[in-house]
Amino acid sequence: MVPTENDSKLTRELGLAAVFTTAAGTMIGAGIFVLPGPAAAEAGPSSALAFVFAGIIALVATMCAVELATAMPRAGGPYFFVSRAMGPLVGTIIGLGAWLALILKGSFALVGLGWYITYFSSVSVLAVAAVGGIFLIIVNWLGAEQSGRLQTFVVLGLLMILAVFVGGGVPVIDTSNFDPLLEHGWNGVITATGLVFISYLGVVKATAVAGEVEDPGTTFPRALIAAVVFVTLLYAGIMLIITGVMSLPEIEASTAPVADAGELFLGTVGGAIIALAGVFATVSTANAATLSSSRFPFAMSQDGLMTPKLRKSSTRFGTPTRSIWLTGLIMIGLALLFDAEGLAKLGGTFGILVFALLNVTVVLLRGAQPEWYDPDFRTPFSPWLPLLGATAALLLIPFMGLLSQVSAIVLIVLGIAWYYVQTQIGETVQPDHTIGDQLQRVQYRQAIDDKAERLGTEVDTHSKIVVEVLQERPNRDLLAIVAAFARRYDATLDVVVISEVPAQLPLSEYDPRLDRAWVDTLERRLESTDCDVNFEHVLARDRTDALFDQIDDRTELVVIDWYAPIEKQYLRGSHVDKILHSDIPVQIAVLKHRGMAKLQDIVVATEEKPYDRTEVELADAIAASTNSSLTLMKVIPADASQEMITTAKEYLDNLQELVSSPTETEIVLGDDVRTALIERGDAADLLILGSSSHPVPGFFGPTTDIVAAETESSVLLAKDPETMIPWYRRIKRRLFD
């Protein structure tokens, strides 16, 4: 089911032009009117490159946002996308980050408004910022319709004025101003890229209309990609004109660089018109920031991540009153505390974190493949392009100053602390799943793909299974089980008895004879398996080394019969212990026989982790050979999220389709995993357990060791060579291979 707050359908009537203008309008604003001075101070004549690089990073994030929006078209915004994919903890971080990024963008625009007002009158910049902020709070409080009308009018006016500026400025560019181009080096360009990044933050807002777009799989991405490219070229062109008609000292000293540049080739009236456009642009940006940022605390409060007071709307105007006033007052306060450059860097830092998380969300969802995730558009070259975009964005932060770096860390710590405080208050937090659930799904998908690939691989007709038996202990069930394996792998059974010869006794003096009656019984039972069998008695100083000598590149499986209790004092340092901790690249199975009369009920049990390939293959082989019932059982915590339960069920259903034997699935919810496994094992004839999913100082893993020791049924413990591969490498393989 698609994770959406509202399942009602929207009318799809927006075309390419409508979406393009909407997206372009979210980006055209204060950035290009205010930032040329600070950008030129950092990058010099190459400052136009900063807008290009920031635009490229924004373009990748836009494609990821489009993919997420077409998968979740009934709601939009980075907070919703990320929280529904990664859970409320990460959602809290991105919600606070996106909120603060837009607040800072609004504060930055208010300071810019003061700068452009001073072009006409020598008033206080901070006074203008404060008055402008109060005005916009009231406008947004009165309703989004009034705010939207103001926004549309301003954007259209800006486009016309900027078109005149570019058309008049290109012919008068002095190319000598660009020599040398990299006057401040690449470090200056990268620093300026982080500085101007705030100009592109609004583009993600345009994804909110995904549910209203005709043919969203093509129209929506084309419109947004075209908008980002257009705005990037427009910004770079304007910056080229400014640096081409003004000297660097003049640009750095100007509080209205676009107007001052325009006055040089459009005259006094032209400069005044562009200054007026700067006023409109800064008002537009501040208004859009107030409108969109105030919705974040409103949405987070609906998910239980902020106080319920913020979710209340005005009965008269239908707007989130408290959220708007809280956001607006913080915006004004920040405008009074920081200068434009500081606000741009802080806002850009938080925006970078948001864009990076959007990119990572796409990678995670592609790897997890939840049933509801079916976007109409898919980001090309995934996962490499999204990860490259996220990495490029994050690499800007070290160039943005100590305050920005500390702020990024504080945001993450604050988000984590805020989340845990809210969960302790008692408010129901949404969604109920976590990023761990999605990572679990990635592991499940990898496990299913691995098993499907294994089943599709042709079996080596020359493969063999090495079976070690103990003298005078002919385990009939062991032979029946290994015969099932031999039939499954179409393999030869190499049955070996290893006699250890004490070091003080020469091998030539050791009597190698086995009990004849035992040998006759063993050979008779081997013949009854209808398998190709090789029997060998080996004399050796070291039993483990002798068994290793039996293993070669044809060996599919090593089976060991274990008679001692499954307890650490018996296992530690034993023959079995040495084999389990070796790096032999074959599957290992250890049978602990407890006198099963007849194989009828086989249970393969595990915790939250996926099954190893070995335990499923062996269980399927035994069930098929003995006509036993096969049950795939998984124990997950009683307080597991619905996402975790659904994921586990999907995994078992997919696994059920891959095995050849009739199979049932069983999910048990319980806090005591070991007790649940033991109780289910007691009711079965054979309990099959896999090893730990990562290397552990124990033997098969803490839970497996205890369950195998305490259950009353016979136990087959399976270990796959893949077990020694760390979990993060297996997830990496799922995401990238």
Q: How far apart are alpha carbons 610 and 615 in whole angstroms?
A: 11
Nearest to 328 by CA among 289, 273, 280, 358: 289
Inform me whether the pLDDT recorded for 735 exceeds 60.
no
CA distance 640 to 667: 12
How far is residue 623's CA from residue 419's CA, in Å, rounded to a whole number?
48
At residue 381 the predicted structure's pLDDT band, cuts being 50, 70 and 90, is very high
Does 570 score more than 60 pLDDT? no
* 98-142 confidence digits (pLDDT tens): 889 989 999 999 999 999 998 888 889 999 999 999 998 888 787
Q: pLDDT tier at 2 (50, 70, 90 boundaries)?
A: very low
Cα 432 from Cα 428, distance rounded (Å): 9
Q: pLDDT at residue 726 above 60?
A: no
CATH 2.40.50.140 fits 21-435, yes or no: no
Question: Per-residue pLDDT averaged across 523-536, rounded?
Answer: 81
Arithmetic mean of pLDDT over the chain: 82
> Does 9 score more than 60 pLDDT?
no
Looking at mean pLDDT, say which of 677-681, 698-702, 723-727 comes out highest: 677-681
Give the confidence band of 379 by pLDDT, cuts at 50, 70, 90: very high
Please answer whether residues 598 and 685 qualify as being in contact, where contact means their C-beta atoms are separated by less than 8 angstroms.
yes
Virtual torsion, Cα 144, 147, 151, 154, nearest 10 deg = 170
Q: Write 520-526 long-range contacts (CB < 8 A, 24+).
A: 521/474, 522/469, 522/474, 522/495, 525/474, 525/476, 525/479, 526/479, 526/493, 526/495
- CA distance to 257, 492, 590, 723, per residue, from 489 (Å): 76, 9, 18, 21
CATH number listed for the domain at residues 452-736: 3.40.50.12370
Tell me the β-bridge partners of 690: 718
pLDDT for the residue numbered 696: 46
Residue 195 has pLDDT above 60, yes or no: yes
Q: Reply yes or no on whether the pLDDT at 342 is more than 80.
A: yes
State residue 600's pLDDT score. 85
Pick the more confident residue, 710 or 189. 189
Residues 6+ apart with CB under 8 A from 613: 447, 450, 451, 454, 587, 720, 722
- 602 DSSP assignment: E
pTM above 0.85, yes or no: no
CA nearest to 254, candidates 37, 43, 41: 37
pLDDT over threshold 70, residue 143? no
> How does residue 230 score in pLDDT terms, banded at 50, 70 and 90?
very high
Show the tokens assigned to 335: 């405008």
Q: What is the pLDDT of residues 421-478, one digit of tens each?
A: 888 876 677 777 777 777 777 777 777 777 777 665 555 567 899 998 887 665 667 7
Q: Where are the domains of the chain?
A: 21-435, 452-736
Grouping H, G, I as helix, E, B as strand and the rest as coil, residue 679 is helix
325: pLDDT strictly greater than 50: yes
Count Cα atoms within 13 angstroms, Cβ side, for 215: 6
Average pLDDT over residues 396-400: 93
Distance of CA 441 to the CA centre of its chain: 11
Cβ atoms 68, 361 nearer than 8 A: yes
CA distance 658 to 673: 26
Look at 249 and 74; give whichever has higher pLDDT. Answer: 249
Residue 693 is predicted with a pLDDT of 45
Q: At what angle do helices 219-245 and 47-71 cross, to 10 degrees?
A: 170
> Hey, which of 10-24, 113-127, 560-574 has the most confident mean pLDDT?
113-127
> Is residue 217 scored above 70 in pLDDT?
yes
Whole-number pLDDT of residue 435: 77
Section 269-290 average pLDDT: 87
pLDDT tens digits, 41-95? 999 999 999 999 999 999 999 999 999 988 886 545 788 888 888 888 898 899 8
Alpha-carbon gap, residue 122 to 109, rounded angstroms: 18
* DSSP string for residues in 344-387: HHHHHHHHHHHHHHHHHHHHHHHHH--TT---SS--TTTTHHHH
CB-based contacts of 233, cutoff 8 Å, min separation 6: none
